[in-house]
Structure 1
Amino acid sequence: MSTEMVYVEHCKGINGLDKVVLREVRGCSAEVYLYGGQVTSWKNEHGEELLFVSSKAIFKPPKAIRGGIPICFPQFGSHGSLEQHGFARNSFWSIDPDPSPFPTNSSNKAFVDLILKHSEEDVKIWPHRYEFRLRVTLGPGGDLMLTSRIRNTNTDGKPFTFTFAYHTYFSVSDISEVRVEGLETLDYLDNLQNKERFTEQGDAITFESEVDKIYVSTPTKIAILDHERKRTFVLRKDGLPDAVVWNPWDKKAKAMPDFGDDEYKHMLCVEAACVEKPITLKPGEEWRGRQELSAVPSSYCSGQLDPQRVLQAG
């Protein structure tokens, strides 16, 4: 008796919130909540969770879900009248009835198309009309792809400007055993020092204290190496020139009610972003930004992981 593979399942999640589960033949899966348009789980074929979600995350509007891949739009950070990281991550998205802007790759069956449009509430705090289309795809090999298309639908002829990030929380075994490759020698803005600009020194980024940096003009590929798990995450991005690296460390972790005191040891945010130079769209114009995540086994090379092979492959 053969059971038909269900690639896309619509069901209820925590606190009755609507979610979509994507599954692929080899056993990998991803979970997307319509609240926030947020990926909250990405598992490999062994059922291992690759994203971090806090054990204290509050799945209850209007609080954003702590972990997974929150979407920061129309702003990253906090300034002006908008709340921190904008309103996309605590808005209710809908299943997109007309996902025509996305070309469909026939080999990918596990995907969902979501849409967020302005509400009259939004317009009070951000006086613009827009359509934000998001496709989340789980590839046959377990890669996770997020593609965003944002269109200015203003009828008053006005352009709008925004910043953006996929605020990805990676699950790691131990933050002190993690290194990030691909950002060395680049300039960054340090959020812990009033966005002052510095140049990254050293061969790779390692972690011994709180980090909150926006790297600018970054390559399309970044590797996050988890020595203990012998796993490397590869983040590929398109249309997103910046990369945010964040870990709150112990003091900030204790100060966040929706984050466990010691959980900072088991997560790292590396975010494909567009922060330094905001995007401006005239009415009718559309912006596209994409990130693709894959997790690959790492091999040791002279006592260290060999990131060059990862960065050169693919």
Structure 2
Amino acid sequence: MSRREMNFVEHSTGVNGLEKVILREVRGFSAEVYLYGGQVTSWKNELGEELLFVSSKANFMPPKAIRGGIPISFPQFSNHGFLEQHGFARNRLWVLDPNPPPFPTTSTNKAYIDLLLKHTEDDAKNWPHRCEFRLRITLGPGGDLMLTSRIRNTNTDGKSFTFTFAYHTYFAVTDISEVRVEGLETLDYLDNLKNRERFTEQGDAITFESEVDKVYLSTPTKIAIIDHERKRTFVVRKDGLPDAVVWNPWDKKAKTLSDFGDDEYKHMLCVEAACVEKPITLKPGEEWKGRQEISAVPSSYFSGQLDPRRVLLYSNP
């Protein structure tokens, strides 16, 4: 199929009649986006392998959020505030953006969608502010998945508002006990399992043998998630998002989640580009931009160990 004939953006009906959009690239990469939640629910490589985790028990039924993929936490991360868990963006119906902001004209990407979340009177009952949240989701020619958020304060009463934010990305992994995360070593983190107490990461990489729920602070713009079993490395690049959340519920917590299989914790890991520690404040008319790009590359081995320098060079030539 030629590039001219390729259907890069296909509108379709998903689970329970919910509207979705499928993005495709010529080499065989694809992504799936539900307008409910403005949520990516699938990202596949050229072999058709699923790179994101979605629970087999996920509810595709409003008002419940979809468990897996890339839910968006806004205007509140976690339950630290007055709103519902992780805010309302992930369980609202987004619309196609009729007036998307301009993007660089040099871009050759054709597989993308622009979504818009507008303030509603229901939202105003708990969060009395007006905003416009624009989201562009792009599938690059090389399979990279990019999410760019633009949030603008449209209050007419002169009031600023403050928010926290996360791209709550669920990566699909083969065996969580064989996964390591590199790029966060020696950094401070807030441990949500210990009342958000602050610690410093001691290991040369993060590995997993029990429940983890940490917010790493002042993180680099690039993080590597290494799936040894699959010999695959996910690379997360981010801009405007200083923090990184790492979460896996492990066995006991998994059993308490009604929309999550008891053993599914073994096959997923959330590493989230976020802004949690220092909330963002926007004055009327001001706009914030936060971007995440994720890619999957073959892991490179050296003396039996992964050489992260080679991974990062490979992923960012």
TM-score range, shorter chain: over 0.9
**Equivalent in the alignment of 2:58:** 57
1:39-80: CA deviation from partner (whole Å, max 9, x where unpaired): 000000000000000000000000000000000000101133
Measure the CA separation in 2 of the matches of 1:311 and 1:195: 31
The reply to whether residue 131 of structure 1 matches residue 136 of structure 2 is no
- When the two structures are aligned, how many residues end up with a matched partner? 314
In the TM superposition, 1:269-308 aligns within 5 A as 269-308=270-309
The one-letter amino acid of 2:113's match is V
Measure the CA separation in 2 of the matches of 1:116 and 1:105: 27
CA offset at residue 100 of structure 1? 2.5
**Equivalent in the alignment of 1:232:** 233
**Equivalent in the alignment of 1:77:** 78
Unaligned runs of 5+ residues in structure 2 are: none
**Equivalent in the alignment of 1:88:** 89
The reply to whether residue 39 of structure 1 matches residue 40 of structure 2 is yes
1:88-110: CA deviation from partner (whole Å, max 9, x where unpaired): 00000000000024335431000
Measure the CA separation in 2 of the matches of 1:54 and 1:305: 29
**Equivalent in the alignment of 2:155:** 154
The one-letter amino acid of 2:56's match is S
Measure the CA separation in 2 of the matches of 1:118 and 1:129: 6
1:211-267: CA deviation from partner (whole Å, max 9, x where unpaired): 000000000000000000000000000000000000000001011010000000000
Judge which range, 102-111 or 172-181, deviates more: 102-111
Measure the CA separation in 1 of the matches of 2:80 and 2:245: 17
Measure the CA separation in 2 of the matches of 1:102 and 1:133: 13
TM-score, normalisation: structure 2:
0.97
Measure the CA separation in 2 of the matches of 1:104 and 1:36: 28
Judge which range, 225-234 or 104-113, deviates more: 104-113
Whether the aligned pair in 1 keeps the contact of 2:300 and 2:310 (CA below 8 Å) is no
Measure the CA separation in 1 of the matches of 2:203 and 2:82: 38
CA offset at residue 295 of structure 1? 0.2
2:69 aligns to what SS in structure 1? coil
Measure the CA separation in 2 of the matches of 1:295 and 1:80: 35
List structure 1 runs of 4+ shifted beyond 2 angstroms. 100-106
Whether the aligned pair in 1 keeps the contact of 2:300 and 2:311 (CA below 8 Å) is no
Measure the CA separation in 2 of the matches of 1:156 and 1:102: 30
The one-letter amino acid of 1:269's match is C
2:108 aligns to what SS in structure 1? coil
Measure the CA separation in 2 of the matches of 1:202 and 1:34: 40
Measure the CA separation in 2 of the matches of 1:107 and 1:197: 43
The one-letter amino acid of 1:280's match is T
Q: 1:103 to 1:124 in 2, by over 3 A?
A: farther
Measure the CA separation in 2 of the matches of 1:194 and 1:105: 47
TM-score, normalisation: structure 1:
0.98
The one-letter amino acid of 2:255's match is K
The one-letter amino acid of 1:147's match is T
1:168-194: CA deviation from partner (whole Å, max 9, x where unpaired): 000000000000000000000000000
Unaligned runs of 5+ residues in structure 1 are: none
Measure the CA separation in 2 of the matches of 1:277 and 1:312: 31
In the TM superposition, 1:1-314 aligns within 5 A as 4-313=5-314, 314=316
Q: 1:138 to 1:90 in 2, by over 3 A?
A: same
Q: CA RMSD in A?
A: 1.1
CA offset at residue 306 of structure 1? 1.5
1:81 aligns to what SS in structure 2? coil
CA offset at residue 289 of structure 1? 0.2
